Amino acid sequence: MGTGFLFLGLFLATAVGGGAAKVNEPRPLFVFGDSLVDNGNNNFLYTSARADTPPYGIDTPSQRPTGRFSNGLNIPDVLSSVFRELIGSEPVVPYLSPELTDKRLPLGANFASAGIGILNDTGFQFGDVLRVPLQLEYFREYKRRLASLVGEKQAKNIVNKALVLVSLGGNDFVNNYFLYPFSPRSLQFPLPDYVSFLMSEYRKILKTLYGLGVRRAILMGSGPLGCAPAEIAQHSVDGECAGNLQAAAELFEPQLAEMVKSINAELGADVFVAANTKLMHNNIITDPHSYGFETANTACCGQGPFNGVGFCTATSNVCNNRDKFVFWDAFHPTERASRLIVEQIMNGTDLYMRPMNLSTIMYLDSSN
C-alpha cells in the first residue's frame, strides 16, 4: 500500500509535468479476457468457473487462493512484475474487487473473467461470468470513475498510454464448439468457417477497444488447446495432443496475426500485436526437459489419467515441485510456464510476436 501511494505520487508528478510517456513513468495495464488472465473477478460472481479454494495459490507468499488459475502468479502478474523492474507498475487489481481504490485506479484494472470467449454463447454453462460486452461496459464505467478523479483529459491520457493484454478464443473452442459432439456451433459451421466467424467478431471487439482509447494491446493466441491435460485425458491414450483442438489452434493463430495486420493497416498504426502462444507453448511441449520441466502432458493438480479429469480441489493429487510441470491444473499453466510465455512476449522474435515484441514497443513508446 505504501509503495502504491509512492508510485501514484510519482505518476501524478510526471503527469502534471506533461509530455509523452517516459521510460521511468509507471505504465497502466488493462486486462481483458478469460481464465488465463482473470486474477479474481470471478470470486465476486455466481459461477462455477473459479479458483478461490486451495490448492490454488499454493506458491504465493500467503499460500492462499486468490482467484488466479495458477499455483502462484499468472501471466498478467508476471507482466506487471517485468514492468515493475522496468518502469515501476504494480500488479493490477480485479475490477470487481474493493481493493480497486481511487489510489490504485490510475494504474489500471483487470476486467477478465474465467469461462468467457469471443462469443456471447461461449461458457454459458458457467453462469454469471463477465462476457465481453460486460467487460467493455465496466471499462467505460472505469473511465468515468477515473475522469471524475483526475479529470477528463488526464483520464484519456492514462488510457492512451496504457498497455492492454487480451486473452480470448480458447474457450470458443473448448467451452463451445468442441464442448460436446454436435454442439450448436459445430452444426452451424465447419471448423474453418467458425474460425473466420470468430475473427470477424474479435475484430469488432478490437475496434471497440480502439474507440475507447486503447493504443497498445497484446492479444494472446488460443494456445495449444489440444495439449491441455484435460483434452489429453479425454481424447488420447498415449499422451498425444488431441487432434481436433490442435487443428483449431492451427487455424486460429495465423488468422489472428492476419486480422491484426489488417486492422493495424486500417488504423494506420501498430495498435494490436498478436502473440503466438501456441508456438511458444509447443516448443516447451515438444521438448519439456530442455526447459527444465519433467512433464508437459500431466497436470500438477487433478485426478485421473494425466491428472486431467475434473477440477483441481483440496482432495486432488498435487505434485510436489510445481516448477517441473508445464500445467498447473487441467487447463492452465504453472507460474513457471507463465514466466516463459512472458519472456517470449517481451523478447520473442517475429515468429512469436507480430508485428513486434513488447521490448520493441516499450522502446518505441519511450522515444516519442
Ligand X SMILES: *[C@@H]1O[C@H](CO)[C@@H](O)[C@H](O)[C@H]1NC(C)=O
Q: Which residues bind ligand X (CB under 6 A)?
A: 82, 119-120, 133, 201, 342-343, 346-347, 349-350, 356-357, 359-360
- Give the chain's largest Cα–Cα span: 62
Tell me how far, at minimum, the Cβ of 17 lies from ligand X, in Å.
Answer: 28
Taking the least distance from each CB to ligand X, the nearer of 84 and 156 is: 84
> Which of 77, 222, 270, 332 is the catalytic position?
332
Beta strands in 98-239 (DSSP E): 108-110, 163-167, 217-220
Cell of 257: 496475426
Measured from the CB atom, is 91 or 226 closer to ligand X?
Answer: 91
Q: In what order do the strands lie in the sheet with 29-33?
A: 108-110, 29-33, 163-167, 217-220, 272-275, 353-354
The least CB distance from residue 82 to ligand X, in Å, is 5
115: exposed, middle or buried (Cβ count in 10 Å: 0-12, 13-18, 19+): buried
Distance of CA 298 to the CA centre of its chain: 22
Phi, psi torsion values for 13, nearest 5 degrees = -60, -50
- The set of cell numbers assigned to 338 is 507463465
Give least dist CB 63 to ligand X, A. 25
Q: Is 34 a catalytic residue?
A: no
Q: For ligand X, which is the closer residue by CB, 258 or 350?
A: 350
Q: Of 347 and 367, which CB lies nearer to ligand X in the complex structure?
A: 347
Is 167 known to be catalytic? no
Report the amino acid identity of residue 210: Y
119 vs 312 by CB, closer to ligand X: 119
Q: How far is the CB of 359 from ligand X (least distance, A)?
A: 4
Question: Directed axis angle between helix 132-150 and helix 191-211, to 10°?
Answer: 10
Least Cβ distance, residue 281 to ligand X (angstroms): 16
**Would you call 167 helix, strand, or coil by DSSP?**
strand
Catalytic residue status for 70? no
Closer to ligand X by Cβ: residue 146 or 345: 345
Q: Which is nearer to ligand X, 271 or 312 (CB)?
A: 271
Closest CA to 91 of 50, 31, 149, 139: 31
CA proximity to 222, closest of 242, 192, 246: 246
DSSP per-residue letters across 316-360:
SEE-S-GGGEEESSSSSB-HHHHHHHHHHHHH--TTTEES--HHH
Q: Nearest-CA neighbor of 301 among 329, 278, 277?
A: 329
Shortest Å distance, C-beta 364 to ligand X? 10
Catalytic residue among 34, 35, 281, 338: 35
Nearest-approach distance from CB 73 to ligand X, in angstroms: 13
**Owner of C-alpha cell 503466438:** 276
Residue 231 contacts residue 241 (beta carbons within 8 Å): yes
Which positions are annotated as active-site residues?
Answer: 35, 329, 332
